[in-house]
Amino acid sequence: MVCLLQPSCPPAPIITEGSTRIGVKARFDGTWVRLGNEGRALYDQSGYGRPDDDGLRLAPEEACYLLHRGRIGIEGYDFDTLVAHFARRPEFIRTFLVYRDLRERGYAVQSGPHDFRVFRRGQRPGTGQSQYMVRVLSERDLIDFEALINEALASSRMRKQHVLAVVDDENELTYYEIKVQNLPDAGEKPGIGPLEGVLIGRSALVHPAPPRDEQVAGFGMYLDPGRMILAPLEIIHLMATGSLILRDGGSPVNSDRYFAMVAAADVELAEKAAVYQDLRHHGYIPKTGYKFGHHFRVYSGEKVHSEMLVHAIAGGIRLPMSSISRSVRLAHSVKKKMLFGHQYTTGIQYVEFARIKL
């Protein structure tokens, strides 16, 4: 029986010869796998490929998936030889595994503009809207935060969710939704000061200490009712806002001298100070996150416990995806959000990583 397929025709038949399934005939031109007009049903009904004047053009991941499922047949190639050909590109196995997983979950998938565009369930190219922009990574890849922010913001402008699909060394997949945000204001907090402090090491001893009811501002540690110790980041912030005068042996210490002294022992001071001051500016109370392995645990003031872990990232710094994965797992286990504060061109941008199930 000969069927001239039109867009309204049923799916191309799969012919069985013994135990071998033979799908629509395709040819490989060395770059693309191409089908004639009889292959258009794959696009019209399931969103595979891109229409060409003379039929359909399949991306490598699509071709391998369809060949593996028996939906197409390619003269001179079986699944093993076609995958081996495309695997000359080092990242191909990762992208194929992610494509396969998304298809098996019921999504229509197209390549670009990152690695994949993923359509809402039940929708497909030409008639539906994509929901996710997916970037495929290895667990060993380094995350360039500036590039990640640019991609996530581009997805946001298109009203799409930005997702990282991470393939580990055993070829298992984990999906992370990426949100880039300027933190909303947490509400105005009580002020503190003016204070005078005496330099003790890299800390400051404030005497007399402010009344305890001002401690809701989250500064310092009280030694006794009359004495409070301020930590370096608190000192830098309070000096910048004019709320603290610092003295060393009776002589005033200016903010530049103090910053240089502390920076000599803390190579991350600049980025931590920038994020700390931004959090304070938005009404949050940042405290050390040392027990959680990060720079800050952050309170909004609305709950007893901290709600976020924040790690400050300087411009140009890249972190291993495996390290970020550990951070996200820890944050979720203690019911907190995991954010990375990056010194972006427009100020501090907070990048949230959250594990999701598609």
Alpha helices in the chain (DSSP H): 40-46, 60-68, 79-86, 92-104, 145-157, 232-240, 255-263, 269-281, 321-333
CA distance 90 to 299: 44
- C-alpha to C-alpha distance for 284 and 298, rounded to whole angstroms: 7
CA distance 9 to 345: 53
Q: Is-contact 49 111, C-beta < 8 A?
A: no
Question: Which residue, among 236, 288, 239, 243, has the nearest Cα to 262 in the 3D structure?
Answer: 236
Choosing from 237, 294, 311, 336, the catalytic residue is 336
* Alpha carbons 184 and 199: distance in angstroms, whole number: 34
Helices 60-68 and 79-86: angle between axes, nearest 10 degrees: 160
Residue 209 to residue 78: CA distance in whole angstroms: 78
Single-letter residue type at 281: H
336 flagged as catalytic: yes
- Cα separation, 91 vs 171, in Å, equals 12
Q: What DSSP letter does each residue of 269-295 carry, written as one string?
A: HHHHHHHHHHHHHTT-EEEE-GGGTSS
Residues 122, 107: contact at Cβ < 8 Å? no
Dist CA 156 CA 160 (whole Å)? 5
Kindly report the number of other CB atoms within 10 A of residue 256's CB atom. 9
In the block, tokens 């399931």 appear at 46
Out of 299, 337, 342, 344, the active site residue is 299
Which structure tokens are listed for 218?
A: 């989250």
Catalytic site positions: 299, 305, 336
